[in-house]
Amino acid sequence: MKSAGIIRQVDELGQVVLPIELRKQFGIMERDYLEVFIKDDTMTLKKCTPHCSLCDKTKDIIKIKGKFYCYECIKHMKEAGV
């Protein structure tokens, strides 16, 4: 694994600020989602695109109670009385 030579301190809320250079390099924008992977003693961050929990679509989705749903699946759930 390549090291960027950047050290950041975790704040009292458990947050770490990613330097602008890294955000630009990986195309990470404000409000983007990052997925965390753990393997042995290594933690890896990966930019991810939220997708509908039911159909995997990535467009026109909203977060409801911690899960993402597209408007089409929400419409089907309403029609089914869910």
CATH architecture of 1-48: Ribbon (2.10)
Per-residue confidence (pLDDT) for residue 48, from 0 to 100: 86
Which parts of the chain sit beneath pLDDT 70?
A: 1-4
Sequence spans of domains, the chain: 1-48, 50-82
Pick from 20, 26, 57: nearest CA to 44 = 26
Question: What pLDDT does 41 receive?
Answer: 93
The rounded percent of the chain whose pLDDT value lies above 90 is: 71
48 - beta bridge partners?
A: 33
At 3 the pLDDT is 67
Contacts 24+ apart (CB under 8 A), 12-17: none
